[in-house]
């Protein structure tokens, strides 16, 4: 029997969904709200396939350290429920399918962005940097940015400022999101000898780094309004979401505990959800 549940878990579908919604929001903004159902469906397929492929490559490369961490040791690869070769083959299959959809239904620029996003996540972050440097997730954060660039390019393959600005915000979002998780699971990363920021500098300094990064995140999120590519509804949403996230960061600085780190990790997802909603509502009602 084919272990479908295990394969689906290896694809990290919740992360894929966030990446896909980010790309769709960028496409919606670039199109100024004129996005057909067909365009939306095919772009969803391309983004989901590409991000699932990257997740499979990530778990293939991390199967040894996943077995050392409490959070990941029950995953299908370290527990032996699926073979590494099967995961690798599925990763290539989904990756080629995603690129094929991008080329067939859109244009080469979309395919290039999807490829670069997968390459940064699976190779630059996972293989090259994750076990070597605390800067891993800063550079690895580019992976999510490429999803927004791909979404924008599906509408306008030429220069389009809005997706570029939104991709910058996504770049700054990733460290605040992942350093919070790393703080909450610091003992796991320490056990696996992975130099995530909390392992290298401790929870108190990591909490301060998260706050500084989130301040840059909030500042970058205001650029679409400042430069006139999105309007007041977006501004209101970005300000409210940013204020909420910064307050959570301040709580973490005052008490850099595991519980508040996990709460900050969840707050980062609420922040991104609110920002994507603000983009959508601004485009609809502007």
Q: Are 274 and 136 in a shared domain?
A: no
Question: Is pLDDT at 7 greater than 90 in this prediction?
Answer: no
Mean pLDDT over 73-86 rounds to 85
Split at pLDDT 50, 70, 90, the class of 77 is: confident
Q: Are 193 and 249 in a shared domain?
A: yes
Q: Are 183 and 146 in a shared domain?
A: no
Mean pLDDT over 2-22 rounds to 85
Q: Are 121 and 263 in a shared domain?
A: no
For 236-249, how does the pLDDT look when each residue is reduced to its tens digit (9 = 90+)? 999 999 999 999 99
Give one DSSP letter per residue of 194-228, joined into a string. Answer: ---HHHHH-HHHHHHHHHHHHHHHHHHHTHHHHTT
Split at pLDDT 50, 70, 90, the class of 34 is: confident
Q: Are 173 and 146 in a shared domain?
A: no
Average pLDDT over the chain reads 93
Query: Looking at 119, 136, 157, which one is the last position of a domain?
Result: 157
Q: Residue 28: how many CB atoms within 10 A of its CB?
A: 25
Question: Is pLDDT at 3 greater than 80 in this prediction?
Answer: no
Note the pLDDT of residue 78.
84
Note the pLDDT of residue 246.
98
Note the pLDDT of residue 186.
92
Q: Are 126 and 231 in a shared domain?
A: no
Domain that holds residue 99: 1-157
Q: Are 140 and 241 in a shared domain?
A: no
Split at pLDDT 50, 70, 90, the class of 73 is: confident
Q: Domain containing 213 — which CATH number?
A: 1.20.120
* pTM strictly above 0.95: no
Q: Are 147 and 226 in a shared domain?
A: no
Note the pLDDT of residue 76.
80
Number of domains in the chain: 2
Query: Looking at 112, 136, 157, which one is the last position of a domain?
Result: 157
Note the pLDDT of residue 2.
56
Query: Looking at 126, 141, 157, which one is the last position of a domain?
Result: 157
Q: Are 2 and 123 in a shared domain?
A: yes
Mean pLDDT over 222-244 rounds to 96
């Amino acid at each position: 029997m084919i272990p479908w549940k295990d394969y689906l878990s290896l694809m990290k579908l919740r992360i894929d969904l966030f990446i896909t919604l980010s790309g769709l929001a960028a496409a919606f903004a670039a199109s100024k709200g004129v996005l057909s159902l067909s365009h939306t469906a095919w772009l969803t397929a391309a983004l989901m396939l590409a991000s699932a492929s990257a997740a499979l490559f990530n778990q293939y490369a991390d199967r040894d350290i996943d077995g050392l961490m409490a959070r990941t040791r029950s995953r299908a690869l370290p527990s032996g429920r699926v073979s590494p070769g099967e995961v690798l083959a599925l990763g290539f299959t989904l990756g080629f399918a995603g690129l094929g959809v991008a080329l067939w239904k859109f244009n080469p620029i979309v395919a290039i962005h999807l490829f670069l996003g997968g390459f940064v996540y699976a190779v630059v972050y996972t293989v090259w940097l994750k076990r070597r440097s605390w800067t891993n997730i800063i550079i690895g954060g580019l992976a999510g940015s490429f999803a927004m660039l791909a979404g924008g390019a599906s509408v306008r393959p030429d220069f389009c400022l809005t997706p570029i600005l939104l991709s910058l915000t996504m770049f700054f979002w990733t460290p605040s999101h992942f350093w919070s998780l790393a703080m909450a699971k610091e003992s796991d990363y320490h056990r696996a000898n992975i130099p995530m920021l909390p392992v290298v500098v401790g929870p108190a300094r990591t909490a301060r780094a998260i706050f500084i990064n989130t301040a840059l995140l909030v500042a970058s999120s205001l650029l679409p309004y400042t430069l006139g590519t999105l309007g007041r509804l977006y501004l209101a949403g970005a300000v409210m979401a940013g204020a909420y996230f910064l307050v959570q960061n301040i709580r973490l600085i005052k008490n850099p505990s595991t519980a508040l780190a996990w709460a900050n990790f969840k707050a980062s997802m609420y922040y991104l959800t609110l920002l994507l909603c603000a983009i959508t509502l601004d485009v609809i009602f502007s």
